[in-house]
């Protein structure tokens, strides 16, 4: 599949931004700077970026608890993302969602999701909107090997199949659902084969190879845009860090980790593009430097941003609801806004 120089540069930059973002969170979490649960996407960059390389701003994605990479690939602002993870007022969700619910509907990013398998029905709904409004918008539904066992995933595949919805289902099989391998949890062992039972094209690809992802994604998204219905992609990938930060990772071997690190998607992208004369080491190095600076800037922005005003506790629950009813049965509980 043809890919322009500009697109290659864009893809490398997005992947590097994700890596830098996640590596920085790994360090800062260990230093006690980050509240709550954080699930990092490092290692899986080629999947989010290979898919989103084919999406427009008005296309939609649904995501998972491991959603930072999807956000960056879809163009969510880095400063707002970092501020959200810090719980700051300037965050993408005003500090109300955090890492696990990070979202930017204006960018078509319909939310990281704390519920494994929460996304497929939502993706069908976004696909239904496009179909009924007669647009050619596409929705990409990211989920993991864990969600491949959830009923909602099967229900979403079935609905998308019978209604020929413009949805691309992307199973990011990163080897582990929390601590457990699909070798234990997936009956039949073949996740991609499951989708064929729903009558849609389905392939398993090397999710560590940007070019393999880019090609499969291009076909699937073009097919959806033409109104020919859903496609399923199982991208076989690997997460470098634990399920969440603080995970002691006592369920896989160092040898396995080193093996996958040797297949690193960014490293392979560099090798391929340089050896084929598509890009130069100098311009890739320059992107690396820019990415480091962008993450440094995002961290500084987040650290310097104010915490939310306590009155924000009661906003954004509804579009319209009586304020007093948000804290019933007690007097003077409602904080005064500034």
- Residue 152 · residue 117 · CB < 8 Å: yes
Nearer to other proteins (CB atom), residue 116 or residue 279? 116
Nearer to other proteins (CB atom), residue 319 or residue 336? 319
CB-based contacts of 95: which residues, under 8 Å, 6+ apart? 83, 84, 86, 87, 88, 89, 307, 308, 312
Residue 32 near other proteins by CB under 8 A: no
Minimum CB–partner distance for residue 37 and other proteins (Å): 14
Among 7, 199, 316, 337, binds other proteins (CB under 8 A): 316
Nearer to other proteins (CB atom), residue 129 or residue 272? 129
The angle formed by the CA atoms of residues 219, 224 and 225, to the nearest 5 degrees, is 100
- Residue 118 · residue 152 · CB < 8 Å: yes
Binding mask 130-149 for other proteins (x = CB under 8 A): x-xx----------------
Residue in 70, 68, 67, 29 with CA at minimum distance from that of residue 53: 70
Nearer to other proteins (CB atom), residue 15 or residue 103? 103
Sign of CA dihedral 253, 257, 258, 260: positive
Residue 60 near other proteins by CB under 8 A: yes
Distance separating alpha carbons of residues 17 and 290, to the nearest angstrom: 9
Minimum CB–partner distance for residue 314 and other proteins (Å): 10
Nearer to other proteins (CB atom), residue 43 or residue 229? 229
- Residue the block writes with tokens 């560590």: 208
Among 75, 125, 201, 218, binds other proteins (CB under 8 A): 125
70-80: string of b/e by CB count within 10 Å (b at 16+)?
Answer: bbbbbebbbbb
**Contacts to other proteins by CB under 8 A:** 60, 62, 91-97, 101, 103-106, 110-111, 113-115, 118, 120-130, 132-133, 151-152, 155-156, 158-159, 162, 315-322, 324-326, 328-330
């Amino acid at each position: 599949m043809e890919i322009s120089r500009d697109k290659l540069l864009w893809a490398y930059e997005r992947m590097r931004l994700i890596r830098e973002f996640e590596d920085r969170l790994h360090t800062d979490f260990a230093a006690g700077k980050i509240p709550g649960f954080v699930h990092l996407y490092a290692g899986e960059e080629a999947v989010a970026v290979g898919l989103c390389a084919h999406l427009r701003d008005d296309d939609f994605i649904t995501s998972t608890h491991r959603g930072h990479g999807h956000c960056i690939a879809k163009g969510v602002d880095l400063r707002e993302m970092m501020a959200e993870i810090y719980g700051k007022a300037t965050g993408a969700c005003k500090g109300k969602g955090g890492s696990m619910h990070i979202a930017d509907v204006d960018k078509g990013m319909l939310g990281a999701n704390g519920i494994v398998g929460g996304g497929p029905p939502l993706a069908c709904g976004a696909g239904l909107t496009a179909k009924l409004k007669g647009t050619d918008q596409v929705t990409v539904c990211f989920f993991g090997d864990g969600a491949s066992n959830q009923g909602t995933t099967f229900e979403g595949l079935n609905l998308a199949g019978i209604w020929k919805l413009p949805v691309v289902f992307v199973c990011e099989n990163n080897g582990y659902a929390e601590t457990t391998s699909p070798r234990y949890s997936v009956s039949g062992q073949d996740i991609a084969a499951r989708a064929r039972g729903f009558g849609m094209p389905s392939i398993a690809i090397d999710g560590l190879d940007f070019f393999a992802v880019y090609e499969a994604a291009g076909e699937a998204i073009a097919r959806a845009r033409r109104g020919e219905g859903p496609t399923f992609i199982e991208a076989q990938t690997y997460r470098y860090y634990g399920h969440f930060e603080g995970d002691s990772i006592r369920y896989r071997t160092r040898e396995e980790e080193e093996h996958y690190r040797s297949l690193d998607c960014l490293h392979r992208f560099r090798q391929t593009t340089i050896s084929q004369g598509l890009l130069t080491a100098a311009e890739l190095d320059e992107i690396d430097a820019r990415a480091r600076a962008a993450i440094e800037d995002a961290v500084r922005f987040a650290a310097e941003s104010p915490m939310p005003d306590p009155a924000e506790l009661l906003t954004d629950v509804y579009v319209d609801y009586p304020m007093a009813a948000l804290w019933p049965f007690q007097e003077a509980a409602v904080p005064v806004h500034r």
